[in-house]
Structure formats: structure tokens, C-alpha cells
Amino acid sequence: MRRLAVVLLVFTASCAVNTPRTNGTPPVVVANDNRTPAGTVRDGVLTLDLDVVMGRWYPEAADGPFVDVPAFAQRGAAPTIPAPLIRVPKGTRVRLVIRNRLDQSAIGLWGPGLTTTNDSSTITLEADSARTVEFTATTAGSYMYGARRGPYDPITNGSEQLAGGIVVDEPGAPTNDRVFVVNEWFMEKPDKEVRNVYAINGRSW
């Protein structure tokens, strides 16, 4: 029987659609179907290099409306929404090398090796700096990781889509399942009109 893992991520993006940029067009965000775990496993250690970059996200269609948001990218690849999937057997050591490539914006990392998304459990990463985070996946289950700019607030932190799934499997457990990550895109227009769009694995439903 196929197993379904659902990682529910409720995070928001609050920004104007089709915002012009003066310093070049950011790379197009790729919808992550969460079929392929990211990183390389060797001798029981998963190594994954991640960059935090600006990306242009088309949640509905390639020729539809877009929004420029911070997103995670596996080093050398396009940014993805959701962030690259971390999936390992229980007992695996996970080594993440994360670089913040956002201009003049520090971020707070949460989730990888931490237990909650509270402000007290974040790791600060200054602009254009890197940090290595290591932890051992000791408990099987579905988790999440991500980043944000400043203390959590659904409006002021709304411009990021910086979150992804962590799945820890029991050794020998079947992995022919599907992982769905659900996120919310929140937009407040200048006239205070509010719109919400939900996406599954980076695509609006």
C-alpha cells in the first residue's frame, strides 16, 4: 500500500504582483514535486548545500501572474517552492551548508535540528554569509524547516516562501509514497484588499 506523507506548512507571502526590478530579473522558481530527495548521502551522512535567493514564482501558470520572493535553491540549481526535500532514514547525520544570498537582509533559520519555529529557536544568518548546521535524524516522522527575515509576523514576514519538508523514515520502510507540502500565499494590495492563494508543491490549486 502506498503511504501518503503530508507536511502542512502554513506560511505567507505578502507582496505586490508583477513588481518591476531594477537590478535584473531573478531566476524562475521551479515547483518542487517532492519526489526526489535533495543532497548526497555518503557513509551515513547527508550533505546538502542550500542558497537563499530571490526567485520569480509563477504559482498558477508559466504565463500567469508572478511574484518575486525569497526561496531556497540547492547550490547550482534553480530555486524551488517548496524548498528542497530532506528525506533520510532514521539515524542519518544531516549536514546543511546554508548561504544567505539576499542583499542587506539577515535571516533566521528554523527547523533543521531545532524543535520549533519560535524566535528563541532560530539561527541568525547575516547577508552574504554561510552557516553549517548539523543534526542527527533520531525520530521518524514528517517535519519542516525554513527561514524568515526578522521576528515572525504574518504581514512583515510575508514576502518569503522559505520552507520545505523533512521526512525521516524508519530503516527499511517503503518510500514509494508521495509527499505533499501545502503553503499559503497571502497578498495585501495597496487598497488593503487581501487575497489568499493556497498551493500544493508549489502550484496553486
Residue 165 CB neighbours (<10 A)? 27
Whole-number pLDDT of residue 114: 55
Whole-number pLDDT of residue 149: 79
Whole-number pLDDT of residue 19: 36
Confidence of residue 155 (pLDDT cuts 50, 70, 90): low
CA angle, 86 as apex, 145 and 97 as ends, to 5°?
Answer: 75
Q: What percent of the chain has pLDDT over 90?
A: 55
Report the mean per-residue pLDDT for the chain: 81
How do beta strands 130-136 and 178-188 pair? Answer: unpaired
Query: What are the two backbone dihedrals, phi and then psi, of residue 119, each rounded to the nearest 5 degrees?
Result: -55, -35
Entry field: residues in the chain: 205
Confidence of residue 3 (pLDDT cuts 50, 70, 90): very low
Confidence of residue 4 (pLDDT cuts 50, 70, 90): very low
Q: What percent of the chain has pLDDT over 70?
A: 75
Q: How far apart are CA 71 and CA 60, in angstroms?
A: 17
Whole-number pLDDT of residue 67: 86
Residue range 93-140, pLDDT digits in tens: 999 999 999 987 888 888 876 544 445 567 889 999 999 999 999 999
197 has pLDDT over 90 = no
18 has pLDDT over 50 = no
Lowest-pLDDT choice from 23-32, 148-157, 188-197: 148-157
Whole-number pLDDT of residue 121: 63
pTM of the model: 0.82
Q: Which residue has the higher pLDDT, 126 or 194?
A: 126
